[in-house]
């Protein structure tokens, strides 16, 4: 048996052992339910008689609803994460389970995460794989896997997305395209990957892309009103009030300061909107009469652009504030994070997670400079996407729970650039070649 084969087998055994160890620990960390997770769980057709959609830790088990009480429309998943949850529930029902076990999905996410790191290690990229393992063994990451949020699946895909972005093998590229297409926010990645494939094979991938875009439109139609409300009254209002300069680094702290920091008398607003300026849909918009909210719905877009035009001195903040706020945010999210682990164990991970935004910014800028120097256009686009993504989040749903929505992309903003810098890609080769050419030319 060759040394390389023995090393690969040893790597696989170690990763399997790590999976078992982390699977046993995963139940000790969690994210409390704030309503978002319940939208994913509903696809599993579980009973909500105990009002689990309220802010409280998720239990491990849920009673299944009787099949007679399940409406066909309840089985339509509104996200890829909900589809995975529903699949796990259907398998458990088929096996005769009386209760839904949430750890099945947790273990699936953990296996996805480790598979990406394993693929990197098996390619001999030990330094990059080791760095990713340091990031993985993190209770703040495991707490997402043990909670039914849509962000959990995106976190689980980060190592695979990174691996496929950096590898050039044709089969790997196509697999990466399919994974990328499962998360519609990665449409730029999908289009770049599609451009680099043979045109004869594009039809299948284009079909996958269309299905995903259709799923996004369907989902947006279900949450159009709250998202539009937050985009204007919360996102634009906080940005114009220079939210990045507030003495607040998480969602709850910003919410408490908003009453004094967001002032409607400092900006020119459309008639009738001042009372809601700086509020978020929950609870302010959700408490409005349905008729009033329906009337407002048709004006959100017009109000947004008219407010930007009427306040030109604040217009630059529309782009700068989401980015500045995201990179100084506190990604521990203590208001929904919970763990039974001792505080001494959590302390180093808490420090890393608290400054995850700044670490992500440094890593992304380093990768961007490397890509620019080596003229790697796709890596330039990838890094610009990571830097600008907070703008999409804020003007998709305001600053409401910004850290929860941004945590996967911020983590990707560490993992992808760091792997790019450590991977020994053609960028490094190109730099070495140019350096040698310059030396030869001068001599």
Phi, psi at residue 277, to the nearest 5°? -60, 120
Which pLDDT value is given to residue 58?
81
CA distances to 109, 159, 385, 391, 431 from 84, in Å: 10, 19, 27, 28, 43
Where along the chain do its domains lie? 1-167, 172-221, 223-443
Cα dihedral: 421, 367, 414, 344 (round 10): 60
Residue of 393, 402, 353 lying closest to 252 (CA atoms): 402
> Which band of pLDDT confidence, cut at 50, 70 and 90, is reported for residue 73?
confident
Half-sphere exposure of 358 (CA within 13 A, CB side): 8
Helix ranges (H only) for 95-183 are: 103-122, 126-136, 139-145, 150-166, 170-181
Question: For every residue of 252-311, which 3-state class applies, written as one string?
Answer: HHHHHHHHHHCCHHHCCCCCCCHHHCCCCCCCCHHHCCHHHHHHHHCCHHHHHHHHHHHC
Check pLDDT > 80 for residue 360: yes
CB-based contact 178:208 (threshold 8 Å): yes
Q: What is the tens place of the pLDDT at every residue in 200-256?
A: 455 666 666 666 666 655 655 566 788 899 999 999 999 999 999 999 999 999 999
How many Cβ atoms sit within 10 Å of the Cβ of residue 279?
21
* pLDDT tens by residue, 48-62: 776 666 667 788 888
267: phi then psi, degrees, rounded to nearest 5 = -130, 160
- Decide if 279 contacts 234 (C-beta within 8 A): yes
- Residue-wise pLDDT for 113-132, tens only, equals 999 899 888 887 888 888 88
Residue 299 contacts residue 270 (beta carbons within 8 Å): yes
The DSSP symbol for 57 reads P
Residue 198's pLDDT is 59
Q: What is the pLDDT of residue 16?
A: 92
Pick from 311, 136, 141: nearest CA to 236: 311
Distances (CA, A) of 286 to 226, 227, 283, 289, 291: 8, 12, 5, 8, 12
Report pLDDT digits (tens) over 269-304. 999 999 999 999 988 999 999 899 988 988 999 999
Main-chain phi, psi angles of 31, to 5 degrees: -115, 135
Give the percent of the chain with pLDDT over 90. 42
Paired tokens of 224? 């159009």
Does the N-terminal peptide bond of residue 335 adopt cis geometry, omega within 30 degrees of 0? no
């Amino acid at each position: 048996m060759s040394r390389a084969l023995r090393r690969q087998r040893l790597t696989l055994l170690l990763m399997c052992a790590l999976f078992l160890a982390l699977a046993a620990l995963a139940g000790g960390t969690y994210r409390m339910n704030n309503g978002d997770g319940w939208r994913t769980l509903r696809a599993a057709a579980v009973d909500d008689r105990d009002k689990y959609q309220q802010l409280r830790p998720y239990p491990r088990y849920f009673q299944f609803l009787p099949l007679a009480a399940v409406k066909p429309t309840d089985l339509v998943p509104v996200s890829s994460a909900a589809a995975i949850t529903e699949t796990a529930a259907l398998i458990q029902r088929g096996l005769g389970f009386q209760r839904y076990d949430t750890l099945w999905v947790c273990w699936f996410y953990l296996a996805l995460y480790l598979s990406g790191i394993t693929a990197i290690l098996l390619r001999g990229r030990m330094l990059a794989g080791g760095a990713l393992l340091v990031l993985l063994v993190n209770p703040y990451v495991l707490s997402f896997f043990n909670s039914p949020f849509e962000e959990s699946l995106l976190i689980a895909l980060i190592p695979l997305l990174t691996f496929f972005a950096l590898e050039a093998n044709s089969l790997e590229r196509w697999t990466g395209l399919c994974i990328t297409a499962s998360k519609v926010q990665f449409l730029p990645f999908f289009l770049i990957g599609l451009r680099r494939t043979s045109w004869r094979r594009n039809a299948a991938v284009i079909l996958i892309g269309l299905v995903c875009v259709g799923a996004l439109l369907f989902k947006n139609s279900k949450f159009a009103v709250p998202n539009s409300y937050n985009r204007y009254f919360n996102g634009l209002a906080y940005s114009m009030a220079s939210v990045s300069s507030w003495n607040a680094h998480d969602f709850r702290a910003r919410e408490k300061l908003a009453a004094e920091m967001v002032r409607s008398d400092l900006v020119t607003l459309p008639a009738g909107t001042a009372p809601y300026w700086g509020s978020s849909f929950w609870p302010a918009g959700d408490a409005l009469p349905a008729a009033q909210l329906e009337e407002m719905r048709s004006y959100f877009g017009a109000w947004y652009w008219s407010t930007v035009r009427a306040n030109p001195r604040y217009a630059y903040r529309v782009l700068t504030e989401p980015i500045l706020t995201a990179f100084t945010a506190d990604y521990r999210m203590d208001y929904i994070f919970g763990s039974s682990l001792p505080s001494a164990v959590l302390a180093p991970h808490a420090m890393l997670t608290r400054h995850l935004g700044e670490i992500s910014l440094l890593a992304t800028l380093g990768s961007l400079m490397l890509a620019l120097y080596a003229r790697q256009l796709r890596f330039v686009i990838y890094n610009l996407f990571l830097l600008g993504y907070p703008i999409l989040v804020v003007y998709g749903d305001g600053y409401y729970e910004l850290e929860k929505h941004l945590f996967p992309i911020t983590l990707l903003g560490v993992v992808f650039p760091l792997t790019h810098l450590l991977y020994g890609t053609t960028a490094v080769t190109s730099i070495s070649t140019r350096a040698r050419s310059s030396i030869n030319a001068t001599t």
